[in-house]
Amino acid sequence: MAVYVVGTYHSIVGRLEESVYDLLIQAGRGALADAGVEARDIDGIWVGNFSGGGFNSQEHLAPCAVEIHPDLRFKPATRVENACASGSAAIAAAKQAIEAGAAELALVIGVEKMTSLNTSGVTQVLAMASHWPEEGAQGMTFPGLFAEFAKGYQEQYQISPEELRVLLAKVAAKNHRNAAANPLAQMPWECTYEDILNRPEEKNPIVAAPLRLFDCSLISDGAAALVLASEDKAKELQNELVELKALAHTTDYLPLSKRSKAEFTAGRRAIHRAYELAGITVDDLDFAEVHDCFTIAEVLAYEAMGLTPPGRGAQAIEEGWVEVGARLPVNASGGLKAKGHPVGATGVSMAVLAVRQLLGRAIGHQIPGAEIGLTYNIGGSAVSNYALIFQRIR
Amino acid sequence: MAVYVVGTYHSIVGRLEESVYDLLIQAGRGALADAGVEARDIDGIWVGNFSGGGFNSQEHLAPCAVEIHPDLRFKPATRVENACASGSAAIAAAKQAIEAGAAELALVIGVEKMTSLNTSGVTQVLAMASHWPEEGAQGMTFPGLFAEFAKGYQEQYQISPEELRVLLAKVAAKNHRNAAANPLAQMPWECTYEDILNRPEEKNPIVAAPLRLFDCSLISDGAAALVLASEDKAKELQNELVELKALAHTTDYLPLSKRSKAEFTAGRRAIHRAYELAGITVDDLDFAEVHDCFTIAEVLAYEAMGLTPPGRGAQAIEEGWVEVGARLPVNASGGLKAKGHPVGATGVSMAVLAVRQLLGRAIGHQIPGAEIGLTYNIGGSAVSNYALIFQRIR
């Protein structure tokens, strides 16, 4: 059964004044208004949030969504959590509710308020998304885990430290450049990869070797929301329509020690399964929003998508394929690196950005004529993997 | 579309040696073995867990379930959280996945490891299930919130402190007596309500007036699991079958200040909606497992179920209706009060206990000939409400 997106909302991303409650409620109201649907017609609410407990002392966040409108009181509201893929997990649950016939209209909200803690506190909370006894409790951080990928990739494909550094700086520069055109982005300023490489050590320090500050995504507050609709309801609304054509979800072992460090093994499976469900190949994509929590992750995503063969991700950036206007624009929004990464909101943010591209509403960073887009969202060190394909219908 | 339970697992409840990971994995293996299904045939895993972050520094717990069996690697695994109703929330999500055609066989696990913290730490973590700014951060605890219900109920119906104390002691005594017959229970020892009333003050102190120690459920470790199946798959398996006949979920405002303190407003709606979906009334129930996190909650549950009119819950206990062997046995297992309350596991625990009653497998506390049972599980101060109706098929 087909599921459609009939309304979207996306907050500005950054250090925001709003509380987690305000962000949640604004996002829900925004998506309902955009969809032009009444609260009373919503059949259920799904909230993607990684760690309201850790960041805001608030578990059990979903019920706060009934305050979006008095008519939402008594409706089912559910929080779904799969680390930084919590937003996509909420979309997946809402999609299944519609396919099950349990909902005709579903409200999905992704939200995270991270700047309530300082950087050290945020690092601690994020580490709870790793395998705690084997990773977090051993002092391993998320920059550290993705540094393991960088080292594993380097070793597997015999890439020199200098080559890797240039490659990663080029990914960062592209995403900063893209963010400069996105009015929602947290770091909307242009830079070249030479700027990044030439920064003095103290302005681009090692965070977890070989990853430096400019390889890391941001600590962000933000929220995004979608209204999903069944086919009948979507037709009735007569909105411009985007179909959520495919959604694939795969899970790998939580500890990185049990998996390859040179590829996103389960990510590749999710993306290729989504292609199969949608009946497309990578060549049919007009753009992709992928999970560049660290620059190395974007390179591994090129390979997981099948855009380049394994070990050849550099080609996509060297030859400019992933630039806006080229073969397959990746992270036209600026990505997690420069648009920002309010972790539990990110999957919904990617979906909203994709839908707006397809509707010609990606203000400032529109890809002309986009018809099919992919979002690839991961939780943990590429443990929970979600690939979604959206297609413009009318 | 009908959804069936084809396998169950239930750990002993109490202060257990196992880690949250061990509990999760044992539960999953136990349910697969009981169902007689192969791991490769499982289409998805849903994990109900309230606060792995708060109790065990482990968010993103669902992926740990792929370690149940190598064939589960790459399968979708999702954590669902709605406070102490997280287990029912996981069942709801898995049920919808089956109804959506996204799964034929779903593994649902509820798990919580609470004794990793001391009582004060547990109280703090649980308080994150309240509205933090308005309740938890003001020093309000869960015993405090349910004491508000006790006071609200007393005031609304002009019940004297002594009458209330006797009523609540009778609920506690019934559940302890029932637990004595349940080999899985955390506090399997009999007591009478007179024993409770006659205890010296220091052995039954006020926790949050008017609630005393014996009005409170337990701090527990535990896990439970179910295998759910589509109709086709259930027929193929030829297991003894229980149908998950109805599931209703309602949400109320998170802060208690916005709601009645004399009834479970949204709970009543969930239960009556479940009756409607199943085409039954309260008189058709052979038993119920209800959310007695505090004794007052069980009394309010009688009224929400329609077993007695509002304000008359005492009649059910005074006249013995809710005893095993009587009109409608409630918490034959011992309930949260005496079986124990591993919070995120509780919804799945209730479901497993119900299914085993229906299959004649409720060792030690079987209700002869039970055909239809209700579980009523709540998250927060009756904020997230789930009512499930199970029926024996063959």
pLDDT of residue B170: 98
B23 touches chain A (CB under 8 A): no
Percent of chain A with pLDDT over 70: 100
Contact A59 B50 (CB under 8 A): yes
For residues B303, B309, B314, B318, the Cα torsion angle rounded to the nearest 10 degrees is -110
Question: Mean of the pLDDT values across residues B235-242?
Answer: 88
Question: What are the beta bridge partners of residue A246?
Answer: A389
Contact B93 A78 (CB under 8 A): yes
Q: Is the pLDDT of residue A394 over 70?
A: no
B69 touches chain A (CB under 8 A): no
Active site residues of B: 84, 341
Confidence of residue A1 (pLDDT cuts 50, 70, 90): confident
Q: Is the pLDDT of residue A143 over 90?
A: yes
Element (H, E) at A48: strand A44-48
Could you give the maximum distance between any two Cα atoms of chain A, in Å?
60
pLDDT of residue B156: 98
Contact B73 A128 (CB under 8 A): no
Q: How far does A48 lie from chain B, in Å, by closest CA?
A: 10
Residue B335 gets the label, from left (phi > 0), alpha (psi -120 to 50) or beta, of left
How many contiguous H segments (helices) and E segments (strands) does chain B have? 13, 11
Contact B60 A383 (CB under 8 A): yes
Q: Is the pLDDT of residue A103 over 70?
A: yes
Write the residue in B52, B80, B254 that is nearest to A78 by C-beta.
B80
Confidence of residue B149 (pLDDT cuts 50, 70, 90): very high
Q: Is the pLDDT of residue B305 over 80?
A: yes
Mean pLDDT of chain B: 97
B50 touches chain A (CB under 8 A): yes
Determine the angle formed by the axes of helices A161-179 and A142-157, rounding to 10 degrees.
Answer: 130
Percent of chain A with pLDDT over 90: 97
A141 touches chain B (CB under 8 A): no
Beta strands, E only, A1-43:
3-10
A60 close to B128: Cβ distance less than 8 angstroms: yes
Q: Is the pLDDT of residue A238 over 90?
A: no
The amino acid present at A113, given as its one-letter code, is K
Q: Is the pLDDT of residue B328 over 80?
A: yes
A267 close to A304: Cβ distance less than 8 angstroms: yes
Q: How far does A108 lie from chain B, in Å, by closest CA?
A: 14
Chain B contacts in chain A segment 143-202 (CB below 8 A): none
Q: Give the Cα separation of A112 and B6 in Å (integer).
A: 38
C-alpha closest to that of B99 among B16, B218, B4, B179: B4
A380 touches chain B (CB under 8 A): yes
What's the whole-model pTM score? Answer: 0.98
pLDDT of residue B240: 82
Element (H, E) at A221: strand A221-230
DSSP assignment of A162-207? HHHHHHHHHHHHHHHHHHTT-TT-SS-----HHHHHHS-GGGS-EE
Per CB-CB distance under 8 Å, the chain A contacts of B100 are 1, 95-100
Q: What is the pLDDT of residues A124-137, one digit of tens each?
A: 999 999 999 999 99
Q: Nearest residue of B to residue A132 by CA position? A: B58
Q: Phi then psi for A253, rounded to 5 degrees?
A: -55, 140
Residue A341: both structure tokens together? 């990464």
Contact B253 A383 (CB under 8 A): no
Q: Give the Cα separation of A45 and A40 in Å (integer).
A: 12
Write the residue in A60, A79, A379 that is nearest to B60 by C-beta.
A379
Confidence of residue B253 (pLDDT cuts 50, 70, 90): very high
Q: Is the pLDDT of residue B135 over 70?
A: yes
Within 8 A by CB and 6+ apart from B211, the residues are: B143, B146, B147, B150, B168, B294, B295, B296
Break chain B into its structural domains and give their ranges. 3-118+219-237
Q: Phi then psi for B104, rounded to 5 degrees?
A: -100, -35
ipTM of this complex prediction, to 2 decimal places: 0.98
Q: Give the Cα separation of B76 and A258 in Å (integer).
A: 18
B377 close to B350: Cβ distance less than 8 angstroms: yes
Question: Mean of the pLDDT values across residues B176-205?
Answer: 96
B282 close to B306: Cβ distance less than 8 angstroms: yes
Instruction: Tell me the torsion sign for CA atoms B247, A61, B129, A251.
Output: positive
Contact B63 A384 (CB under 8 A): yes
B136 touches chain A (CB under 8 A): yes
Write the residue in B1, B53, B76 that is nearest to A128 by C-beta.
B53
pLDDT of residue B331: 98
Residue A245: both structure tokens together? 């054509």
Contact B59 A73 (CB under 8 A): no
Contact A249 B82 (CB under 8 A): no
C-alpha closest to that of B18 among B345, B319, B287: B345
C-alpha closest to that of A376 among A338, A335, A339: A335
Residue A185 gets the label, from left (phi > 0), alpha (psi -120 to 50) or beta, of beta
Per CB-CB distance under 8 Å, the chain A contacts of B62 are 81-82, 251, 384
pLDDT of residue A101: 97
pLDDT of residue B394: 66
Give me the CATH topology for the region A3-118+219-237. Peroxisomal Thiolase; Chain A, domain 1 (3.40.47)
Q: How does DSSP classify residue B319?
A: T
Catalytic annotation on A84? yes
B321 touches chain A (CB under 8 A): no
Task: Write down the catalytic residue from A84, A191, A216, A293.
Answer: A84
Contact A59 B60 (CB under 8 A): no
C-alpha closest to that of A34 among A345, A242, A313: A242
